[in-house]
Chain A
Protein backbone atom coordinates (compact mmCIF):
# COMPACT_ATOMS: atom_id res chain seq x y z
CA UNK A 1 0.00 0.00 0.00
CA UNK A 2 2.93 2.38 0.60
CA UNK A 3 2.86 5.69 2.47
CA UNK A 4 -0.25 7.80 2.53
CA UNK A 5 -0.08 11.48 1.85
CA UNK A 6 -2.32 14.34 2.90
CA UNK A 7 -3.41 16.36 -0.13
CA UNK A 8 -5.87 19.12 -0.95
CA UNK A 9 -8.37 18.78 -3.74
CA UNK A 10 -9.72 21.98 -5.19
CA UNK A 11 -12.81 21.09 -7.18
CA UNK A 12 -14.70 23.21 -9.70
CA UNK A 13 -18.32 23.45 -8.59
CA UNK A 14 -21.16 24.70 -10.70
CA UNK A 15 -24.81 23.93 -11.23
CA UNK A 16 -26.15 25.52 -14.41
CA UNK A 17 -29.68 25.39 -13.02
CA UNK A 18 -29.01 27.36 -9.86
CA UNK A 19 -25.60 29.05 -9.99
CA UNK A 20 -24.76 32.29 -11.72
CA UNK A 21 -21.01 31.67 -11.49
CA UNK A 22 -18.83 28.65 -10.77
CA UNK A 23 -16.76 28.42 -7.57
CA UNK A 24 -14.12 26.09 -6.11
CA UNK A 25 -14.41 23.98 -2.96
CA UNK A 26 -11.48 22.37 -1.21
CA UNK A 27 -11.39 18.93 0.33
CA UNK A 28 -8.51 17.47 2.32
CA UNK A 29 -7.84 13.76 2.27
CA UNK A 30 -5.15 11.17 2.79
CA UNK A 31 -4.26 9.48 -0.45
CA UNK A 32 -2.57 6.12 -0.90
CA UNK A 33 -0.09 5.03 -3.53
CA UNK A 34 -2.60 2.86 -5.39
CA UNK A 35 -5.56 5.23 -5.61
CA UNK A 36 -6.83 6.51 -8.92
CA UNK A 37 -8.24 9.96 -9.68
CA UNK A 38 -11.61 8.21 -10.01
CA UNK A 39 -11.22 6.96 -6.42
CA UNK A 40 -10.69 10.54 -5.31
CA UNK A 41 -13.78 11.72 -7.23
CA UNK A 42 -15.74 8.98 -5.50
CA UNK A 43 -14.35 9.95 -2.10
CA UNK A 44 -15.28 13.61 -2.59
CA UNK A 45 -18.83 12.46 -3.30
CA UNK A 46 -19.07 9.69 -0.71
CA UNK A 47 -17.14 11.22 2.17
CA UNK A 48 -17.63 14.97 1.70
CA UNK A 49 -20.47 16.10 -0.50
CA UNK A 50 -23.11 13.85 -2.03
CA UNK A 51 -24.11 16.54 -4.52
CA UNK A 52 -20.70 16.46 -6.27
CA UNK A 53 -21.34 15.30 -9.84
CA UNK A 54 -19.18 13.58 -12.45
CA UNK A 55 -19.61 10.92 -15.13
CA UNK A 56 -18.34 7.43 -14.54
CA UNK A 57 -19.14 4.04 -15.93
CA UNK A 58 -16.77 1.25 -16.96
CA UNK A 59 -13.80 1.91 -14.61
CA UNK A 60 -11.60 0.17 -17.19
CA UNK A 61 -10.44 2.94 -19.50
CA UNK A 62 -12.84 1.89 -22.21
CA UNK A 63 -16.04 3.96 -22.01
CA UNK A 64 -14.38 7.40 -21.95
CA UNK A 65 -17.00 8.85 -19.55
CA UNK A 66 -14.77 9.98 -16.67
CA UNK A 67 -12.43 12.34 -18.56
CA UNK A 68 -11.74 15.57 -16.64
CA UNK A 69 -8.73 17.83 -16.23
CA UNK A 70 -6.38 17.84 -13.24
CA UNK A 71 -4.23 20.98 -12.91
CA UNK A 72 -4.96 21.61 -16.58
CA UNK A 73 -3.84 18.17 -17.69
CA UNK A 74 -6.37 16.10 -19.60
CA UNK A 75 -7.02 13.06 -17.41
CA UNK A 76 -9.03 9.89 -17.78
CA UNK A 77 -9.89 9.51 -14.09
CA UNK A 78 -10.12 5.71 -14.03
CA UNK A 79 -6.72 5.25 -15.63
CA UNK A 80 -4.69 7.90 -13.85
CA UNK A 81 -2.82 7.14 -10.65
CA UNK A 82 -3.40 10.00 -8.20
CA UNK A 83 0.02 9.96 -6.55
CA UNK A 84 1.73 10.28 -9.94
CA UNK A 85 -0.08 13.58 -10.38
CA UNK A 86 0.81 14.67 -6.84
CA UNK A 87 4.44 14.06 -7.78
CA UNK A 88 3.94 16.12 -10.93
CA UNK A 89 1.93 19.01 -9.53
CA UNK A 90 2.44 19.02 -5.76
CA UNK A 91 -0.02 18.54 -2.89
CA UNK A 92 -2.87 20.53 -4.39
CA UNK A 93 -4.82 18.85 -7.17
CA UNK A 94 -7.29 21.00 -9.09
CA UNK A 95 -10.21 19.08 -10.56
CA UNK A 96 -11.98 20.81 -13.40
CA UNK A 97 -14.33 19.77 -16.21
CA UNK A 98 -12.81 19.31 -19.68
CA UNK A 99 -14.38 22.57 -20.82
CA UNK A 100 -15.46 25.11 -18.23
CA UNK A 101 -17.67 27.01 -20.64
CA UNK A 102 -19.64 23.82 -21.36
CA UNK A 103 -20.10 22.88 -17.69
CA UNK A 104 -23.55 21.60 -16.76
CA UNK A 105 -22.88 20.36 -13.25
CA UNK A 106 -19.42 20.19 -11.64
CA UNK A 107 -17.33 17.81 -13.80
CA UNK A 108 -20.17 17.10 -16.21
CA UNK A 109 -20.14 19.01 -19.48
CA UNK A 110 -22.41 19.24 -22.49
CA UNK A 111 -20.41 17.23 -25.02
CA UNK A 112 -22.87 17.90 -27.84
CA UNK A 113 -20.35 19.69 -30.04
CA UNK A 114 -17.95 16.76 -29.77
CA UNK A 115 -20.56 14.19 -30.83
CA UNK A 116 -21.88 16.36 -33.63
CA UNK A 117 -18.43 16.80 -35.16
CA UNK A 118 -17.49 13.19 -34.62
CA UNK A 119 -20.66 12.05 -36.40
CA UNK A 120 -20.07 14.48 -39.27
CA UNK A 121 -16.97 12.64 -40.52
CA UNK A 122 -18.91 9.35 -40.92
CA UNK A 123 -17.03 7.43 -38.24
CA UNK A 124 -18.05 4.04 -39.60
CA UNK A 125 -17.34 1.85 -42.62
CA UNK A 126 -19.41 2.95 -45.59
CA UNK A 127 -19.89 -0.11 -47.80
CA UNK A 128 -22.50 -2.29 -49.41
CA UNK A 129 -22.25 -5.39 -47.30
CA UNK A 130 -23.77 -8.69 -48.32
CA UNK A 131 -26.22 -9.56 -45.49
CA UNK A 132 -25.54 -13.25 -46.07
CA UNK A 133 -21.78 -13.43 -46.64
CA UNK A 134 -20.33 -16.78 -47.66
CA UNK A 135 -16.92 -16.01 -46.20
CA UNK A 136 -15.30 -13.83 -43.54
CA UNK A 137 -14.13 -10.36 -44.48
CA UNK A 138 -10.40 -10.50 -43.71
CA UNK A 139 -7.69 -7.90 -43.52
CA UNK A 140 -3.94 -8.35 -43.86
CA UNK A 141 -1.58 -7.45 -41.04
CA UNK A 142 -0.27 -4.62 -43.19
CA UNK A 143 -3.75 -3.20 -43.69
CA UNK A 144 -4.44 -3.33 -39.95
CA UNK A 145 -1.17 -1.53 -39.25
CA UNK A 146 -2.37 1.31 -41.48
CA UNK A 147 -4.83 2.25 -38.72
CA UNK A 148 -1.84 3.43 -36.64
CA UNK A 149 -3.79 2.70 -33.45
CA UNK A 150 -6.51 5.20 -34.43
CA UNK A 151 -9.08 2.52 -33.62
CA UNK A 152 -8.10 2.68 -29.93
CA UNK A 153 -10.01 5.97 -29.61
CA UNK A 154 -12.68 5.80 -26.87
CA UNK A 155 -14.28 9.18 -27.68
CA UNK A 156 -13.47 10.54 -24.22
CA UNK A 157 -13.03 14.05 -25.66
CA UNK A 158 -9.67 14.64 -23.95
CA UNK A 159 -7.95 15.76 -27.17
CA UNK A 160 -10.96 17.69 -28.42
CA UNK A 161 -11.20 19.90 -25.35
CA UNK A 162 -7.42 20.23 -25.04
CA UNK A 163 -7.31 21.63 -28.59
CA UNK A 164 -6.93 25.44 -28.61
CA UNK A 165 -8.52 25.69 -32.05
CA UNK A 166 -11.74 24.00 -30.87
CA UNK A 167 -11.82 26.71 -28.21
CA UNK A 168 -11.70 29.64 -30.67
CA UNK A 169 -13.12 28.26 -33.95
CA UNK A 170 -16.61 26.82 -33.54
CA UNK A 171 -16.71 25.07 -36.91
CA UNK A 172 -13.40 23.22 -36.47
CA UNK A 173 -13.85 19.42 -36.45
CA UNK A 174 -11.18 18.83 -33.81
CA UNK A 175 -8.56 16.11 -33.35
CA UNK A 176 -10.85 13.21 -32.36
CA UNK A 177 -13.03 13.64 -35.45
CA UNK A 178 -9.89 13.83 -37.62
CA UNK A 179 -8.48 10.64 -36.08
CA UNK A 180 -11.79 8.91 -36.84
CA UNK A 181 -11.85 10.32 -40.37
CA UNK A 182 -8.39 8.88 -40.93
CA UNK A 183 -9.19 5.53 -39.36
CA UNK A 184 -12.20 4.86 -41.59
CA UNK A 185 -10.64 6.34 -44.71
CA UNK A 186 -7.79 3.83 -44.65
CA UNK A 187 -10.15 0.91 -44.00
CA UNK A 188 -9.95 -1.31 -47.11
CA UNK A 189 -13.71 -2.05 -46.91
CA UNK A 190 -14.71 1.61 -46.93
CA UNK A 191 -16.04 3.61 -49.89
CA UNK A 192 -16.37 7.10 -48.39
CA UNK A 193 -12.73 8.07 -48.13
CA UNK A 194 -13.04 10.81 -50.74
CA UNK A 195 -16.04 12.40 -48.97
CA UNK A 196 -14.11 12.47 -45.71
CA UNK A 197 -11.00 13.88 -47.35
CA UNK A 198 -13.03 16.63 -49.01
CA UNK A 199 -14.85 17.50 -45.79
CA UNK A 200 -11.64 17.62 -43.77
CA UNK A 201 -9.88 19.68 -46.47
CA UNK A 202 -12.33 22.59 -46.08
CA UNK A 203 -10.82 25.80 -44.74
CA UNK A 204 -12.30 26.56 -41.31
CA UNK A 205 -13.57 23.14 -40.21
CA UNK A 206 -10.74 21.12 -41.78
CA UNK A 207 -7.17 20.07 -41.03
CA UNK A 208 -5.59 23.24 -42.44
CA UNK A 209 -6.73 25.10 -39.32
CA UNK A 210 -4.63 22.84 -37.06
CA UNK A 211 -2.06 24.96 -35.19
CA UNK A 212 0.35 22.02 -34.66
CA UNK A 213 0.56 22.50 -30.90
CA UNK A 214 0.54 18.73 -30.13
CA UNK A 215 -1.88 19.29 -27.22
CA UNK A 216 -3.99 16.43 -28.65
CA UNK A 217 -1.09 13.98 -28.69
CA UNK A 218 -0.26 14.92 -25.11
CA UNK A 219 -3.87 14.68 -23.91
CA UNK A 220 -4.87 11.29 -25.34
CA UNK A 221 -5.09 8.59 -22.63
CA UNK A 222 -4.97 5.84 -25.29
CA UNK A 223 -1.91 7.08 -27.23
CA UNK A 224 -3.93 7.59 -30.40
CA UNK A 225 -1.68 10.53 -31.38
CA UNK A 226 -4.35 12.47 -33.31
CA UNK A 227 -1.93 14.97 -34.86
CA UNK A 228 -0.15 12.13 -36.62
CA UNK A 229 -3.47 11.34 -38.32
CA UNK A 230 -4.01 15.01 -39.11
CA UNK A 231 -0.67 15.02 -40.95
CA UNK A 232 -1.72 11.83 -42.75
CA UNK A 233 -4.96 13.51 -43.86
CA UNK A 234 -2.92 16.43 -45.19
CA UNK A 235 -0.70 14.05 -47.16
CA UNK A 236 -3.69 12.06 -48.45
CA UNK A 237 -5.26 15.21 -49.89
CA UNK A 238 -2.26 15.54 -52.20
CA UNK A 239 -1.82 11.82 -52.84
CA UNK A 240 -5.44 11.42 -53.89
CA UNK A 241 -5.76 14.69 -55.79
CA UNK A 242 -8.33 16.17 -53.41
CA UNK A 243 -6.25 19.24 -52.46
CA UNK A 244 -7.53 22.49 -53.97
CA UNK A 245 -5.17 25.36 -54.62
CA UNK A 246 -5.66 27.79 -51.76
CA UNK A 247 -3.54 29.79 -49.36
CA UNK A 248 -2.93 26.79 -47.07
CA UNK A 249 -2.09 24.17 -49.70
CA UNK A 250 0.14 26.64 -51.54
CA UNK A 251 1.84 27.44 -48.26
CA UNK A 252 2.67 23.75 -47.73
CA UNK A 253 3.76 23.12 -51.31
CA UNK A 254 5.50 26.47 -51.68
CA UNK A 255 8.31 25.47 -49.34
CA UNK A 256 9.80 23.41 -52.15
CA UNK A 257 10.06 26.48 -54.43
CA UNK A 258 12.38 28.22 -51.99
CA UNK A 259 14.29 25.20 -50.84
CA UNK A 260 15.16 24.38 -54.46
CA UNK A 261 16.46 27.90 -55.02
CA UNK A 262 18.17 28.65 -51.73
CA UNK A 263 18.07 25.63 -49.43
CA UNK A 264 16.39 28.02 -47.01
CA UNK A 265 12.79 29.17 -46.97
CA UNK A 266 12.35 32.51 -48.70
CA UNK A 267 10.11 34.08 -46.05
CA UNK A 268 8.89 36.85 -48.35
CA UNK A 269 8.24 34.61 -51.33
CA UNK A 270 6.21 32.08 -49.32
CA UNK A 271 3.77 34.79 -48.22
CA UNK A 272 3.51 36.29 -51.72
CA UNK A 273 3.11 32.89 -53.37
CA UNK A 274 0.56 31.56 -50.85
CA UNK A 275 -1.57 34.70 -50.63
CA UNK A 276 -1.48 35.90 -54.24
CA UNK A 277 -3.39 39.21 -54.27
CA UNK A 278 -4.41 38.58 -50.67
CA UNK A 279 -0.91 39.71 -49.77
CA UNK A 280 -2.20 43.28 -49.36
CA UNK A 281 -3.58 42.41 -45.93
CA UNK A 282 0.00 41.92 -44.71
CA UNK A 283 1.14 45.39 -45.75
CA UNK A 284 1.07 47.00 -42.31
CA UNK A 285 3.14 44.15 -40.88
CA UNK A 286 5.49 44.24 -43.84
CA UNK A 287 6.01 47.93 -43.21
CA UNK A 288 6.83 47.28 -39.56
CA UNK A 289 9.36 44.61 -40.55
CA UNK A 290 11.00 46.90 -43.08
CA UNK A 291 11.20 49.66 -40.48
CA UNK A 292 12.92 47.32 -38.02
CA UNK A 293 15.35 46.21 -40.73
CA UNK A 294 14.03 42.63 -40.68
CA UNK A 295 13.25 42.43 -44.40
CA UNK A 296 14.72 44.03 -47.48
CA UNK A 297 11.96 45.03 -49.90
CA UNK A 298 14.20 46.17 -52.75
CA UNK A 299 16.40 43.09 -52.79
CA UNK A 300 15.04 41.94 -56.14
CA UNK A 301 18.19 39.99 -56.93
CA UNK A 302 17.85 38.20 -53.55
CA UNK A 303 21.41 39.12 -52.64
CA UNK A 304 20.47 39.16 -48.94
CA UNK A 305 18.96 35.68 -49.10
CA UNK A 306 21.15 33.07 -47.43
CA UNK A 307 22.07 30.06 -49.56
CA UNK A 308 22.87 26.58 -48.27
CA UNK A 309 26.28 25.17 -49.11
CA UNK A 310 26.12 22.16 -51.44
CA UNK A 311 22.77 23.35 -52.76
CA UNK A 312 23.10 20.89 -55.64
CA UNK A 313 22.67 18.01 -53.17
CA UNK A 314 19.42 19.50 -51.90
CA UNK A 315 18.14 19.97 -55.45
CA UNK A 316 19.04 16.40 -56.35
CA UNK A 317 17.33 15.02 -53.23
CA UNK A 318 14.16 16.95 -54.03
CA UNK A 319 14.25 15.63 -57.57
CA UNK A 320 14.56 12.00 -56.51
CA UNK A 321 12.49 12.02 -53.29
CA UNK A 322 9.47 14.24 -53.99
CA UNK A 323 6.32 12.15 -54.18
CA UNK A 324 3.44 14.62 -54.11
CA UNK A 325 2.23 17.39 -56.39
CA UNK A 326 -0.30 20.18 -56.01
Chain B
Protein backbone atom coordinates (compact mmCIF):
# COMPACT_ATOMS: atom_id res chain seq x y z
CA UNK B 1 0.00 0.00 0.00
CA UNK B 2 1.68 3.21 -1.15
CA UNK B 3 1.31 6.14 1.19
CA UNK B 4 -2.21 7.43 1.11
CA UNK B 5 -2.48 11.05 2.11
CA UNK B 6 -5.51 13.33 2.17
CA UNK B 7 -6.59 16.75 3.39
CA UNK B 8 -9.24 16.12 6.03
CA UNK B 9 -12.17 18.54 6.17
CA UNK B 10 -13.68 17.72 9.55
CA UNK B 11 -16.75 19.97 9.48
CA UNK B 12 -18.12 21.43 12.71
CA UNK B 13 -19.78 18.46 14.38
CA UNK B 14 -16.60 16.38 14.63
CA UNK B 15 -14.93 19.26 16.49
CA UNK B 16 -17.88 19.94 18.77
CA UNK B 17 -20.66 17.55 19.78
CA UNK B 18 -19.24 14.38 18.22
CA UNK B 19 -15.54 14.41 19.21
CA UNK B 20 -15.68 10.61 18.96
CA UNK B 21 -16.02 10.95 15.18
CA UNK B 22 -12.71 12.80 14.87
CA UNK B 23 -10.79 10.64 17.32
CA UNK B 24 -11.98 7.38 15.72
CA UNK B 25 -11.25 8.69 12.22
CA UNK B 26 -7.69 9.59 13.21
CA UNK B 27 -7.28 6.23 14.95
CA UNK B 28 -8.43 4.30 11.88
CA UNK B 29 -6.11 6.31 9.65
CA UNK B 30 -3.18 5.66 11.98
CA UNK B 31 -3.85 1.91 12.06
CA UNK B 32 -4.04 1.76 8.28
CA UNK B 33 -1.06 4.03 7.66
CA UNK B 34 -3.15 6.71 6.00
CA UNK B 35 -1.97 10.27 6.51
CA UNK B 36 -4.69 12.84 7.22
CA UNK B 37 -3.74 16.53 7.20
CA UNK B 38 -6.31 18.57 9.12
CA UNK B 39 -7.66 21.54 7.18
CA UNK B 40 -7.64 23.89 10.17
CA UNK B 41 -8.31 26.93 7.99
CA UNK B 42 -11.65 25.57 6.79
CA UNK B 43 -14.99 27.04 7.88
CA UNK B 44 -18.48 25.59 8.26
CA UNK B 45 -19.99 24.27 4.97
CA UNK B 46 -23.32 25.97 5.74
CA UNK B 47 -25.03 22.61 6.23
CA UNK B 48 -27.55 23.40 3.43
CA UNK B 49 -29.08 26.06 5.69
CA UNK B 50 -26.72 28.92 4.91
CA UNK B 51 -27.40 27.93 1.28
CA UNK B 52 -31.10 28.68 1.85
CA UNK B 53 -30.23 32.13 3.16
CA UNK B 54 -27.41 33.24 0.88
CA UNK B 55 -26.41 30.87 -1.89
CA UNK B 56 -23.52 32.94 -3.23
CA UNK B 57 -21.88 33.45 0.15
CA UNK B 58 -22.03 29.72 0.82
CA UNK B 59 -20.35 29.05 -2.54
CA UNK B 60 -17.51 31.43 -1.66
CA UNK B 61 -16.94 29.87 1.77
CA UNK B 62 -17.01 26.31 0.43
CA UNK B 63 -14.68 27.21 -2.42
CA UNK B 64 -12.26 28.69 0.13
CA UNK B 65 -12.21 25.39 2.03
CA UNK B 66 -11.33 23.47 -1.12
CA UNK B 67 -8.60 26.05 -1.93
CA UNK B 68 -6.69 24.93 1.15
CA UNK B 69 -6.74 21.30 0.01
CA UNK B 70 -5.56 22.44 -3.41
CA UNK B 71 -2.73 24.41 -1.82
CA UNK B 72 -1.52 21.20 -0.19
CA UNK B 73 -1.78 19.42 -3.53
CA UNK B 74 -4.04 16.84 -1.90
CA UNK B 75 -7.49 15.41 -2.47
CA UNK B 76 -10.00 16.43 0.17
CA UNK B 77 -11.83 13.87 2.28
CA UNK B 78 -14.91 14.62 4.37
CA UNK B 79 -16.38 12.76 7.34
CA UNK B 80 -19.88 14.24 7.21
CA UNK B 81 -22.36 13.56 4.41
CA UNK B 82 -23.68 17.13 4.47
CA UNK B 83 -20.16 18.61 4.29
CA UNK B 84 -19.59 16.22 1.39
CA UNK B 85 -22.75 17.40 -0.37
CA UNK B 86 -22.01 21.09 -0.01
CA UNK B 87 -18.32 20.78 -0.91
CA UNK B 88 -19.03 18.54 -3.90
CA UNK B 89 -21.92 20.70 -5.07
CA UNK B 90 -19.74 23.82 -4.90
CA UNK B 91 -17.02 22.04 -6.85
CA UNK B 92 -19.46 20.79 -9.47
CA UNK B 93 -21.06 24.20 -9.95
CA UNK B 94 -17.76 26.06 -10.21
CA UNK B 95 -16.09 23.46 -12.45
CA UNK B 96 -19.03 23.51 -14.88
CA UNK B 97 -19.63 27.26 -14.97
CA UNK B 98 -16.58 29.44 -15.78
CA UNK B 99 -18.57 32.62 -15.26
CA UNK B 100 -19.63 31.62 -11.75
CA UNK B 101 -16.11 30.43 -10.99
CA UNK B 102 -14.77 33.83 -12.03
CA UNK B 103 -17.27 35.62 -9.77
CA UNK B 104 -16.28 33.45 -6.80
CA UNK B 105 -12.57 33.83 -7.55
CA UNK B 106 -13.00 37.58 -7.68
CA UNK B 107 -14.00 37.44 -4.00
CA UNK B 108 -11.35 34.88 -3.08
CA UNK B 109 -8.67 37.05 -4.68
CA UNK B 110 -9.40 39.65 -1.99
CA UNK B 111 -7.92 37.27 0.56
CA UNK B 112 -5.18 36.01 -1.75
CA UNK B 113 -6.79 32.72 -2.73
CA UNK B 114 -7.84 31.11 -5.99
CA UNK B 115 -10.13 28.14 -6.56
CA UNK B 116 -8.72 25.98 -9.36
CA UNK B 117 -10.68 22.74 -9.20
CA UNK B 118 -7.65 20.46 -8.86
CA UNK B 119 -8.62 18.47 -5.76
CA UNK B 120 -11.14 15.65 -5.72
CA UNK B 121 -13.69 15.82 -2.92
CA UNK B 122 -14.70 12.47 -1.47
CA UNK B 123 -16.21 11.12 1.69
CA UNK B 124 -13.55 9.20 3.66
CA UNK B 125 -15.79 6.12 3.44
CA UNK B 126 -15.36 5.97 -0.32
CA UNK B 127 -11.66 6.91 -0.26
CA UNK B 128 -11.13 3.92 2.05
CA UNK B 129 -13.00 1.57 -0.25
CA UNK B 130 -11.57 2.91 -3.51
CA UNK B 131 -7.96 3.62 -2.53
CA UNK B 132 -7.24 1.38 0.44
CA UNK B 133 -9.50 -1.49 -0.58
CA UNK B 134 -11.80 -3.77 1.37
CA UNK B 135 -9.48 -6.79 1.12
CA UNK B 136 -6.63 -4.82 2.66
CA UNK B 137 -8.98 -3.59 5.36
CA UNK B 138 -10.14 -7.14 6.08
CA UNK B 139 -6.52 -8.20 6.53
CA UNK B 140 -6.15 -5.65 9.36
CA UNK B 141 -9.12 -6.85 11.41
CA UNK B 142 -8.08 -7.74 14.95
CA UNK B 143 -11.51 -8.04 16.54
CA UNK B 144 -13.99 -9.42 14.01
CA UNK B 145 -17.51 -8.05 14.43
CA UNK B 146 -19.02 -11.49 13.78
CA UNK B 147 -21.27 -11.41 16.86
CA UNK B 148 -23.06 -8.22 15.75
CA UNK B 149 -25.99 -7.64 13.43
CA UNK B 150 -25.24 -4.18 12.10
CA UNK B 151 -27.79 -1.99 10.31
CA UNK B 152 -26.12 0.30 7.75
CA UNK B 153 -27.71 3.74 7.49
CA UNK B 154 -26.31 5.44 4.42
CA UNK B 155 -27.46 9.06 4.90
CA UNK B 156 -28.94 11.04 2.01
CA UNK B 157 -26.05 13.29 1.12
CA UNK B 158 -23.59 10.53 0.21
CA UNK B 159 -25.97 8.88 -2.26
CA UNK B 160 -28.28 11.59 -3.61
CA UNK B 161 -28.26 13.33 -6.03
CA UNK B 162 -26.54 10.32 -7.66
CA UNK B 163 -25.39 12.35 -10.65
CA UNK B 164 -23.35 14.60 -8.37
CA UNK B 165 -21.76 11.75 -6.46
CA UNK B 166 -21.35 8.91 -8.91
CA UNK B 167 -17.70 9.59 -9.68
CA UNK B 168 -16.70 9.82 -6.04
CA UNK B 169 -18.90 7.14 -4.47
CA UNK B 170 -18.15 4.17 -6.67
CA UNK B 171 -21.34 4.70 -8.66
CA UNK B 172 -23.49 3.75 -5.67
CA UNK B 173 -27.12 3.07 -6.62
CA UNK B 174 -29.19 5.29 -4.30
CA UNK B 175 -32.08 2.80 -4.44
CA UNK B 176 -29.92 -0.20 -3.53
CA UNK B 177 -26.64 1.00 -2.02
CA UNK B 178 -24.10 -1.66 -1.01
CA UNK B 179 -20.87 0.03 0.15
CA UNK B 180 -21.67 0.12 3.88
CA UNK B 181 -22.93 -3.46 3.75
CA UNK B 182 -19.64 -4.42 2.08
CA UNK B 183 -17.67 -2.57 4.76
CA UNK B 184 -19.57 -4.36 7.53
CA UNK B 185 -18.93 -7.72 5.86
CA UNK B 186 -15.23 -6.84 5.42
CA UNK B 187 -15.06 -6.42 9.20
CA UNK B 188 -16.81 -9.80 9.50
CA UNK B 189 -20.03 -8.28 10.88
CA UNK B 190 -23.51 -9.33 9.72
CA UNK B 191 -25.10 -6.57 7.71
CA UNK B 192 -28.82 -6.11 8.28
CA UNK B 193 -31.03 -5.75 5.23
CA UNK B 194 -33.88 -3.35 5.93
CA UNK B 195 -35.97 -0.97 3.87
CA UNK B 196 -34.96 2.28 5.61
CA UNK B 197 -31.22 1.99 5.01
CA UNK B 198 -31.21 4.63 2.24
CA UNK B 199 -33.93 6.87 3.68
CA UNK B 200 -33.77 10.29 5.32
CA UNK B 201 -33.35 10.76 9.10
CA UNK B 202 -35.08 14.15 9.13
CA UNK B 203 -32.22 16.00 10.84
CA UNK B 204 -32.51 19.15 8.75
CA UNK B 205 -36.01 20.03 9.99
CA UNK B 206 -35.48 19.03 13.59
CA UNK B 207 -35.88 22.60 14.85
CA UNK B 208 -38.88 23.73 12.80
CA UNK B 209 -40.67 20.41 12.27
CA UNK B 210 -39.70 17.97 15.04
CA UNK B 211 -42.72 15.76 14.27
CA UNK B 212 -41.41 15.10 10.76
CA UNK B 213 -37.91 14.54 12.07
CA UNK B 214 -39.09 12.11 14.75
CA UNK B 215 -41.30 10.23 12.30
CA UNK B 216 -38.43 9.70 9.86
CA UNK B 217 -35.70 8.84 12.38
CA UNK B 218 -38.07 6.72 14.47
CA UNK B 219 -39.28 4.73 11.46
CA UNK B 220 -35.73 3.92 10.41
CA UNK B 221 -34.64 2.93 13.94
CA UNK B 222 -37.70 0.73 14.44
CA UNK B 223 -37.17 -0.85 11.03
CA UNK B 224 -33.58 -1.73 11.99
CA UNK B 225 -34.69 -3.11 15.36
CA UNK B 226 -37.45 -5.20 13.76
CA UNK B 227 -34.84 -6.72 11.49
CA UNK B 228 -32.77 -7.83 14.48
CA UNK B 229 -30.12 -5.13 14.44
CA UNK B 230 -27.85 -4.95 17.51
CA UNK B 231 -26.53 -1.59 16.40
CA UNK B 232 -26.72 0.92 13.59
CA UNK B 233 -23.80 2.51 11.76
CA UNK B 234 -23.72 5.67 9.66
CA UNK B 235 -21.08 7.76 7.86
CA UNK B 236 -22.94 11.00 8.69
CA UNK B 237 -22.62 12.69 12.11
CA UNK B 238 -25.90 14.56 11.57
CA UNK B 239 -27.79 11.28 11.07
CA UNK B 240 -25.86 9.89 14.01
CA UNK B 241 -26.79 12.78 16.30
CA UNK B 242 -30.43 12.75 15.32
CA UNK B 243 -30.83 9.02 15.68
CA UNK B 244 -28.65 8.56 18.75
CA UNK B 245 -29.93 11.51 20.75
CA UNK B 246 -33.64 11.50 19.99
CA UNK B 247 -34.65 7.90 20.52
CA UNK B 248 -36.93 8.77 23.46
CA UNK B 249 -38.93 11.44 21.63
CA UNK B 250 -39.10 9.41 18.40
CA UNK B 251 -40.16 6.36 20.36
CA UNK B 252 -42.83 8.30 22.21
CA UNK B 253 -44.24 9.58 18.92
CA UNK B 254 -44.27 6.12 17.36
CA UNK B 255 -45.49 4.35 20.47
CA UNK B 256 -42.46 2.09 20.56
CA UNK B 257 -39.52 1.65 22.85
CA UNK B 258 -36.36 2.46 20.93
CA UNK B 259 -32.96 1.53 22.30
CA UNK B 260 -30.33 0.99 19.62
CA UNK B 261 -26.69 2.12 19.74
CA UNK B 262 -25.82 4.25 16.71
CA UNK B 263 -22.15 4.32 15.77
CA UNK B 264 -20.20 6.56 13.43
CA UNK B 265 -18.66 4.53 10.62
CA UNK B 266 -15.05 5.10 11.82
CA UNK B 267 -16.09 4.05 15.35
CA UNK B 268 -17.19 0.69 13.94
CA UNK B 269 -14.00 0.29 11.92
CA UNK B 270 -11.90 1.31 14.92
CA UNK B 271 -13.66 -1.37 16.99
CA UNK B 272 -12.72 -4.05 14.48
CA UNK B 273 -9.16 -2.81 14.13
CA UNK B 274 -8.67 -3.04 17.89
CA UNK B 275 -8.20 0.66 18.57
CA UNK B 276 -8.32 1.88 22.16
CA UNK B 277 -11.55 2.69 23.98
CA UNK B 278 -10.37 6.28 24.29
CA UNK B 279 -9.97 6.57 20.52
CA UNK B 280 -13.29 4.90 19.73
CA UNK B 281 -14.94 7.27 22.20
CA UNK B 282 -18.09 5.24 22.89
CA UNK B 283 -18.59 7.19 26.12
CA UNK B 284 -19.75 10.10 23.94
CA UNK B 285 -22.59 8.07 22.43
CA UNK B 286 -25.88 8.95 24.11
CA UNK B 287 -27.59 5.59 23.61
CA UNK B 288 -25.40 3.33 25.68
CA UNK B 289 -22.82 1.62 23.52
CA UNK B 290 -19.83 1.18 25.84
CA UNK B 291 -20.56 -2.53 26.30
CA UNK B 292 -19.76 -3.14 22.62
CA UNK B 293 -16.04 -3.23 23.41
Contacts and interface: CB of A to CB of B under 8 A. Distances in A.
A98 to B, nearest CB: 14
* Contact residues of A: prevailing secondary structure: helix
Interface in B165-179: 173-176
Nearest to A314: B43
A229 B144 CA distance: 46
A265 B12 CA distance: 6
Contacts of A310: 41, 111
B16 A306 contact: yes
A212 B209 contact: no
Contacts, number: 196
Interface in B104-121: 107-108, 110-111, 113
B17 A317 contact: no
Nearest to B162: A218
B140 interface: no
B208 A264 contact: no
B208 A248 contact: yes
B157 A214 contact: yes
Candidate in B43, B199, B205 with the most chain A CB atoms within 10 angstroms: B43
Contacts of B61: 259, 314, 317-318
A256 interface: yes
A10 B203 CA distance: 34
Interface stretch (A14-22, A108-116, A284-292): A284-292
Nearest to A234: B52
Nearest to B165: A214
Interface stretch (A32-40, A135-143, A162-170): A162-170
A210 interface: yes
A119 interface: no
Given A169-B212, A308-B40, A318-B61, 20 more contacts: A72-B175, A211-B203, A211-B205, A214-B157, A217-B160, A218-B161, A235-B52, A235-B53, A247-B208, A248-B207, A255-B46, A263-B44, A285-B245, A288-B245, A291-B286, A294-B284, A295-B17, A313-B64, A314-B64, A318-B57
